[in-house]
């Protein structure tokens, strides 16, 4: 599938826009405590790259006012715990269709734009608030 060219207005060679994650229809129940998940944040060496984390407990995601999940990032340092919306998360340990479809779509969207670059690229789609809420750029805009 070929994504519509520049429909989001980002010029070629610049940071790709992530329009897939905000449109993802992912329920809170799809995940449970103990699941290993990843938040896709960029690419590295021609593959998707992100932060691998473990789900700890249900937690309110204040930027979207919806049910979220508290996550533990073993390499997070000061930011070891964040709360994320379910649609940011992808199962690492289970090959479930919902998550695989999303990963394939992200690969089709991102890898053709970045395959010539071998270094790690963080696209900067996510920020963490002072209260430890992980926010996608699309939710940060709509929440204000
Ligand atoms: Zn899944």
| pLDDT single digits (tens) 73-99 | 988 777 899 999 999 999 998 789 999
Tokens of 103: 């990963």
**Tally of structural domains, the chain:** 1
Ion ligand 1: residue ranges with CB closer than 5 A? 91, 96, 99
Rg (alpha carbons) of the chain, rounded to whole number: 15
Tokens of 143: 């929440």
pTM for the model: 0.85
What CATH number did the domain enclosing 129 receive? 2.30.30.140
Q: Does residue 4 register a pLDDT over 50? A: no
CA of 68 to the centre of ligand 1 (A): 15
Look at residue 17 and tell me if it is in a domain: no
Angle at 104 between CA 102 and CA 107, to 5 degrees: 110
Q: What is the pLDDT of residues 23-75, one digit of tens each?
A: 999 999 999 999 999 999 999 988 999 999 999 999 999 999 999 999 999 88
Look at residue 102 and tell me if it is in a domain: yes
What residues make up the domain containing 100? 26-142
Q: What is the pLDDT of residues 118-144, one digit of tens each?
A: 788 999 999 999 999 999 999 986 544
């Amino acid at each position: 599938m070929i994504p519509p060219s520049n429909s989001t207005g980002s010029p070629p060679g610049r940071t790709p826009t992530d329009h897939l994650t905000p449109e993802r229809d992912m329920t809170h129940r799809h995940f449970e405590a103990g699941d290993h998940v990843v938040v896709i944040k960029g690419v590295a060496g021609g593959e998707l790259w992100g932060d691998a984390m473990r789900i700890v407990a249900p937690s309110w995601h204040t930027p979207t006012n919806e049910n979220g999940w508290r996550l533990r990032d073993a390499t997070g340092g000061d930011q070891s715990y964040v709360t994320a919306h379910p649609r940011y998360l992808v199962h690492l340990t289970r090959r479930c269709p919902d998550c695989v479809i999303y990963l394939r779509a992200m690969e089709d969207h991102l890898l053709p734009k970045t395959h010539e670059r071998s270094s790690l690229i963080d696209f900067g789609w996510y920020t963490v608030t002072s209260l430890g809420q992980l926010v996608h750029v699309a939710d940060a805009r709509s929440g204000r």
